[in-house]
């Protein structure tokens, strides 16, 4: 069976490796539009941007691994079409037939419209190596940076820039930072962390436009203020890469829609990672995380070979900001109660829905994270009061 994998990121590397580990001996071709072999993306906005990690450490597999596994890497090729009738992927360099196709296309950063200055020189996003190659030289001490967006990418970029000696202002249009992904209690801890390190945070104010004639020189806010800037970073989220799948007639619903086993509306085509949405009890879900990219890709690999098992996610995430680590287990969708436990340099926030534990955020508290993760994955739920009052969380296990 000839398997093609379109997209060459974390999910692609995990899927290809799992196919070989499960005994698939047929051809595997991985096609990606970047020149670099599959690499980790999370460090791009952290250690790699800081210059603390080189490309060798960023890549997921050594070059000879791909050759040893007899996996063909077709890098620097842009896919132009998926011909489902002929079962062929077309790129700007050639055609690749397949018996089974996996789409691990990832996501692309959202940008402000060109009319708002979003395409102006000096306006950056953080998603791939090319983005960092342009951004890193601009992060010079003493320069003024405005970060648009108070999600994890924006906050991580703000932390890196501040550590490098820039004056940093972060603007979030929503009433508070982390509004879509975390409780107010977690946002309070992260806000305090940034302000302690000298980041100015402005919340609840819309962006009017990025200003400048030939390059960005500031950000105009809807309340009339103008923030001078030598560069701007847009961290306003990502959109799943669905254009090829949509053009091929595959079902799209918050990403490339797959069933519980990772199969798209075409039985010969599968999808995994940031680009794919899968069914859950509370509707379709799309997870943007390393953990999901790995776990879903491995599940899809097994199902492409006939395992017939539903994918059951066990979500986990992390974010490094300054010298602090935020670790997250579970999904806080639809939470109706939170319980907090203070810590020496942070603490933990525990999410409940209908009395059941569904997620935990732990800032500089790895013990709370590990215990919460074990409880959630085991389907066990101590009472909120027990978590709030327990002298030792380990007793809850």
Looking at residue 393, its pLDDT comes to: 87
Q: Where are the beta strands (DSSP E) in 135-247?
A: 144-148, 167-172, 200-203, 207-211, 218-221, 226-228, 231-234, 238-240
**DSSP class of 37:** P
**197-213 pLDDT per residue, tens:** 999 999 999 999 999 99
Residue pair 333/282 in contact by the 8 Å Cβ criterion: yes
Residue pair 43/53 in contact by the 8 Å Cβ criterion: yes
**143-160 pLDDT per residue, tens:** 999 999 999 999 999 999
| Weakly modelled stretches of the chain, pLDDT under 70 | none
Judged by phi (left if over 0) then psi (alpha if -120 to 50, else beta), residue 344 lies in alpha
CA distance 332 to 97: 41
The domain limits of the chain are 3-108+239-305, 111-234, 323-396
Looking at residue 363, its pLDDT comes to: 98
Q: Does domain 3-108+239-305 have CATH number 3.50.50.60?
A: yes
Looking at residue 281, its pLDDT comes to: 83
Looking at residue 46, its pLDDT comes to: 87
Looking at residue 396, its pLDDT comes to: 81
Identify the residue whose tokens are 């599940």: 299
Identify the architecture of domain 323-396 in CATH: 2-Layer Sandwich (3.30)
**Strand 100-103, strand 218-221: pairing:** unpaired
> Closest Cα partner for 299 from 132, 104, 41?
104
| Residue ranges in the chain assigned as alpha helix (H) | 10-21, 47-50, 55-58, 63-68, 129-135, 152-163, 184-196, 243-247, 290-304, 366-377, 384-389
Residue pair 346/189 in contact by the 8 Å Cβ criterion: yes
Looking at residue 268, its pLDDT comes to: 98
CA distance 341 to 227: 37
Model's pTM, two decimal places? 0.94
Identify the architecture of domain 111-234 in CATH: 3-Layer(bba) Sandwich (3.50)
Looking at residue 284, its pLDDT comes to: 93
Q: Hey, do 3-108+239-305 and 323-396 end up sharing a CATH topology, with the first three levels equal?
A: no
């Amino acid at each position: 069976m000839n398997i093609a994998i379109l997209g060459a990121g974390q999910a692609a590397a995990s899927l290809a490796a799992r196919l070989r580990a499960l005994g698939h001996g047929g051809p595997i071709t991985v096609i990606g539009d970047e020149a670099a072999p599959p690499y980790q993306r999370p460090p791009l906005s952290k250690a790699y941007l800081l210059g603390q990690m080189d490309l060798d450490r960023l890549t997921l597999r050594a070059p000879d691994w791909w050759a040893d596994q007899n996996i063909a890497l077709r890098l620097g090729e842009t896919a132009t079409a998926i011909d489902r009738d002929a079962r062929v992927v077309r790129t700007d360099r050639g055609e690749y037939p397949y018996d089974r196709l996996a789409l691990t296309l990832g996501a692309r950063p959202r940008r402000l419209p060109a009319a708002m200055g979003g395409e102006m020189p000096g306006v950056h996003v953080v998603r791939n190596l090319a983005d960092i190659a342009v951004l890193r030289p601009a992060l010079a001490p003493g320069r003024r940076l405005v970060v648009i967006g108070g999600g994890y990418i924006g906050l991580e970029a703000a932390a890196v820039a501040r550590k490098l000696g820039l004056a940093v202002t972060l603007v979030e249009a929503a009433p508070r930072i982390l509004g879509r992904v975390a409780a107010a209690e977690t946002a309070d801890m992260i806000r305090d962390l940034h302000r302690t390190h000298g980041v100015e945070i402005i919340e609840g104010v819309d962006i009017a436009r990025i200003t400048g004639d030939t390059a960005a020189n500031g950000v105009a806010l809807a309340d009339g203020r103008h923030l001078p800037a030598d560069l701007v970073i847009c961290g306003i989220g990502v959109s799943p890469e669905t254009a090829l799948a949509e053009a091929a007639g595959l079902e799209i619903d918050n990403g490339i829609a797959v069933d519980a086993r990772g199969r798209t509306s075409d039985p010969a085509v599968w999808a995994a990672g940031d680009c794919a949405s899968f069914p859950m009890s509370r509707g379709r879900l799309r997870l943007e995380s390393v953990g999901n990219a790995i776990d879903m890709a491995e599940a899809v690999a097994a199902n492409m070979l006939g395992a017939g098992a539903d994918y059951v996610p066990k979500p986990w995430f992390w974010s490094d900001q300054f010298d602090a680590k935020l670790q997250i287990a579970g999904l806080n969708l639809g939470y109706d109660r939170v319980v907090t436990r203070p810590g020496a340099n942070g603490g933990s926030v525990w999410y409940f829905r209908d009395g059941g534990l569904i997620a935990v955020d732990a800032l500089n508290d790895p013990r709370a994270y590990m215990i919460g993760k074990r409880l959630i994955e085991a389907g066990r739920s101590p009472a909120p009061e027990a978590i709030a009052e327990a002298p030792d969380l380990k007793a809850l296990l």
